[in-house]
Amino acid sequence: MADNEEYDYEALPESASVVTHLIAGALAGITEHTVMHPFDSVKTRMQIINPNPQAVYSGVVQAITRMTTTEGVRSLWRGVNSVILGAGPSHALYFATYEQCKTWFGGSELGHHPIATGAAGACATIASDALMNPFDVIKQRMQVHGSSYRSVLECARKVFKAEGFSAFYVSYPTTLMMTIPFQSIQFATYEFFCGVLNPNRSYDPKTHIISGGIAGAIAAAVTTPLDVAKTLLQTRGTSANAEVRNASGMLAALRVIVKHDGMRGLIRGWKPRVLSHMPATAISWSTYEYFKWFLNSSFHSLSELDYSRPHDLSTPKILFGVHPSF
Specify the pLDDT at position 272.
94
User: Which 3-state string (H, E, C) describes the chain?
Assistant: CCCHHHCCCCCCCCCCCHHHHHHHHHHHHHHHHHHCHHHHHHHHHHHCCCCCHHHCCCCHHHHHHHHHHHCCHHHHHCCHHHHHHHHHHHHHHHHHHHHHHHHHCCCCCCCCCHHHHHHHHHHHHHHHHHHHHHHHHHHHHHHCCCCCCCCHHHHHHHHHHHHCHHHHCCCHHHHHHHHHHHHHHHHHHHHHHHHHHCCCCCCCHHHHHHHHHHHHHHHHHHCHHHHHHHHHHHHHHHCCCHHHHHCCCHHHHHHHHHHHHCHHHHHCCHHHHHHHHHHHHHHHHHHHHHHHHHHHHHHHHHCCCCCCCCCCCCCCCCCCCCCCCC
Average pLDDT over residues 119-133: 87
Give percent of the chain with pLDDT exceeding 90: 46
Pick the CATH number of 18-296 from 2.40.440.10, 3.40.50.720, 1.50.40.10, 3.30.160.270: 1.50.40.10
Specify the pLDDT at position 3.
47
- The string of pLDDT tens digits covering residues 221-255 is 999 999 999 999 999 998 989 999 999 999 999 99
How confident is residue 24, by pLDDT bands cut at 50, 70 and 90? low
Specify the pLDDT at position 102.
79
Specify the pLDDT at position 88.
81
- The string of pLDDT tens digits covering residues 210-228 is 999 999 999 999 999 999 9
How confident is residue 38, by pLDDT bands cut at 50, 70 and 90? very high
- Residue ranges per structural domain of the chain: 18-296
**What pTM does this model have?**
0.77
